[in-house]
Structure 1
């Protein structure tokens, strides 16, 4: 309803502000198409200025950073977007703004968002895993080149590669590099090159283009074919701002066709210079090693042990002589002690020998059977006896026996 006011009965400003807040609040959430003219992040809140695509109209907007980060592709200043927003009127300042709840890229941004979703799905399957990348041969026998007929990319690669390595061999297969049939043509060329056993790697080259022009190089079937390809694949699409998915699955991404030519073959001049440098380094290393060994040999030869080799032998001979003399002295001392001990034992044995007793005038009487006579009771008169003395034996016969006196003489008799 219209507010009834006059010059005599004006409405307070706060009432007008409240009415405006109510009118705007009844509008509800709306979808708005616009262009982001300005974007600022500040403490978790994003402040934006949305501008109409044709008219010179702009309005402030804000949202939480999660809304902006939730976009499938990065949203920057100049991006064309469709936002789901609720109008809000800030009464204290009388300013109108939009509270954004969702942001969707439009136009080229929507196309990039679709490609980003495809990229994320393929990445989740592991198609871009760096561990699956095949290394490029240092000097390939043959290089398969898939590119447009009579294209600048073909000329750049062939000319630059041959400038670097004149003997490089190319097998060129032409295919559509743009349009709906491009991906199928490229896959057909890949199949043809796979049958050629002289080829060690394949280059897919195009001289850049818009996002729409490069869509065939993000085709899922082509990406999977490159992932399963037996030979290393180099992607040389030549589009720096946007990266086709082929660049991610290829074993090597070159920024331009010229860059691809530099990376698939070595530079013969650099290689020759490297060989010359390595030859010089090897020669220097060998000379240094020989000089070092000569100096070492001279040092060894100057040592006394080699200047007079007999010195070492003489010293060892002296040691041997010393040990020999010590052994002889030790053995002589032991023999002397052993001789003394033998003499002592011999004297003891002789002292205990019956012959020593016989030498003092004693004799041993034996019967005819060899029994030693120790008592007169063993013999009778006319018994034949053998008496052994120190120097022989005497044969005799007994005449009589006389017992020895056993009674001891008393002390009184001795005194008498």
Structure 2
């Protein structure tokens, strides 16, 4: 039997039995001196065990430790709290210090590789073991941070982070693929907020490790599986907040390349607002938190309902305006004088016709008057030139028997029959003598 463990005592009550203990602290003299002397009826108080731990740790020697700063909190001037990660294994330790040590840490930041001198320290109140530092030295740029920066620059040079490679998110997804840890708060946040905003969505969830060496290959496999599923419209990779080392798996080159190669739109929701990993650069959309991812991938049903209501109201308003305009147009036609008093349509043409008739009458009258004056002038001219006018003045026209006018006495022979035309009537005579 191991002497470090209390021996089996047949007098101990069986499991499940309720025992009675004093309600007030017992003096140290009544408590067992060694841990192996404790029993169920005579146990050590937690404070005593914690104090024994503290006394044991106090005897440990001081020394130097080496690692990489993954978290540092030096907001207070007289204290500093650091999470130091082993440079080669997934092991970390809490380092704290006060006074001069806190001042030494002012120039250090996340990612720095350092060596720290100090000794183990146990906080009795919570039986928490840490390393109390008294000196710190920088080794150089932290290997892990330098590796991530080098990987980021190399992948950026390959174009994996280019904006033209980003795929827009579907406006109304039907199925969301979710990569997260089993029973994680991130899973509940995404599902709850998606259902609140767009209840018709279904989920296909793939659980993976979200930290540690198993994280990268499992996340890659989950992304590839969901990307190959034709029912999945968008993929969310979600993880709650954590330290730099907790999130390091999402900066793995395999995860980044799988994210960049994913044809289905993919959203990264790793950590909180200030947390950044390389998957954020390769994803089509980076969400600050899992809750933010839920808000980005689906619309708000209330907002969409309001948009539809506003569109219907706008259409109704425009239709009513159009109908009212047409009604006013019809009313305008109905009230026009051309419909209420159709005869008015003829008034203008009638005035035009009357005017044209008057103008035509005047024009015809002028034409007739001009023609009449011309006739009268011609008549006067004809009258003046007519033989009748000569006859009226007492002259006569002498014609031979053949009808020719005799204008010379030489053309008449005695005995020729002559016709003498007078003003009124004619006289037939026989020439008895020709003179001239």
User: Conserved in 2, the CA contact under 8 Å of 1:147 and 1:204?
Assistant: yes
Q: Distance in 2 between matches of 1:347 and 1:220?
A: 126
Q: Aligned in 2, Cα 1:215/1:341: closer, same or farther, shift over 3 Å? A: same
Q: Distance in 1 between matches of 2:389 and 2:201?
A: 129
Alignment correspondent of 1:20: none
Task: Structure 2 unaligned segments of length 5 or more: list them.
Answer: 1-71, 76-96, 115-137, 392-396
In the alignment, structure 1 residue 225 sits paired with structure 2 residue 258: yes
1:173 aligned to 206, 220, 229, which one?
Answer: 206
In the alignment, structure 1 residue 326 sits paired with structure 2 residue 361: no
RMSD of aligned residue pairs (Cα, Å): 5.6
2:108 aligned to 58, 68, 78, which one?
Answer: 78
Q: Distance in 2 between matches of 1:374 and 1:183?
A: 153
Alignment correspondent of 2:364: 335
Q: Distance in 2 between matches of 1:345 and 1:141?
A: 105
Q: Report the alpha carbon displacement of residue 402 of structure 1 after superposing the two structures with TM.
A: 8.7
Q: Distance in 2 between matches of 1:256 and 1:309?
A: 73
Q: Distance in 1 between matches of 2:245 and 2:101?
A: 30
Q: List aligned pairs for 1:80-159, cutoff 5 A.
A: 106-107=141-142, 110-123=143-156, 126-130=159-163, 132-159=165-192
Q: Distance in 2 between matches of 1:152 and 1:225?
A: 24
Q: List aligned pairs for 1:15-414, cutoff 5 A.
A: 56=100, 77-79=107-109, 106-107=141-142, 110-123=143-156, 126-130=159-163, 132-180=165-213, 182-268=215-301, 270=302, 275=305, 279=309, 282=312, 286=316, 290=320, 306=335, 313=342, 316-351=345-380, 357-361=386-390
Q: Report the alpha carbon displacement of residue 254 of structure 1 after superposing the two structures with TM.
A: 1.9
Q: Aligned in 2, Cα 1:140/1:389: closer, same or farther, shift over 3 Å? A: farther
Q: Aligned in 2, Cα 1:159/1:279: closer, same or farther, shift over 3 Å? A: closer
Q: Distance in 2 between matches of 1:122 and 1:290?
A: 59
Q: Aligned in 2, Cα 1:288/1:56: closer, same or farther, shift over 3 Å? A: closer
SS of residue matched to 1:360 = helix
Q: Please give the TM-score of this superposition, normalised by the length of structure 1.
A: 0.54
Q: Distance in 2 between matches of 1:204 and 1:397?
A: 156
Q: Distance in 2 between matches of 1:402 and 1:243?
A: 159
Q: Distance in 1 between matches of 2:199 and 2:279?
A: 29
Q: Report the alpha carbon displacement of residue 166 of structure 1 after superposing the two structures with TM.
A: 3.8
Q: Distance in 1 between matches of 2:178 and 2:324?
A: 56
User: Conserved in 2, the CA contact under 8 Å of 1:358 and 1:390?
Assistant: no
Q: How many residues align structurally?
A: 313
Q: Report the alpha carbon displacement of residue 143 of structure 1 after superposing the two structures with TM.
A: 1.0
User: Conserved in 1, the CA contact under 8 Å of 2:337 and 2:344?
Assistant: no
User: Conserved in 2, the CA contact under 8 Å of 1:142 and 1:169?
Assistant: yes
Q: Please give the TM-score of this superposition, normalised by the length of structure 2.
A: 0.52
Q: Aligned in 2, Cα 1:365/1:132: closer, same or farther, shift over 3 Å? A: farther
Q: Aligned in 2, Cα 1:147/1:306: closer, same or farther, shift over 3 Å? A: same
349-358 or 222-231: bigger deviation = 349-358
Q: Aligned in 2, Cα 1:388/1:144: closer, same or farther, shift over 3 Å? A: farther
Q: Distance in 2 between matches of 1:309 and 1:246?
A: 78
Q: Distance in 2 between matches of 1:318 and 1:180?
A: 101
Q: Aligned in 2, Cα 1:289/1:348: closer, same or farther, shift over 3 Å? A: same
SS of residue matched to 2:179 = strand
User: Conserved in 2, the CA contact under 8 Å of 1:140 and 1:201?
Assistant: yes
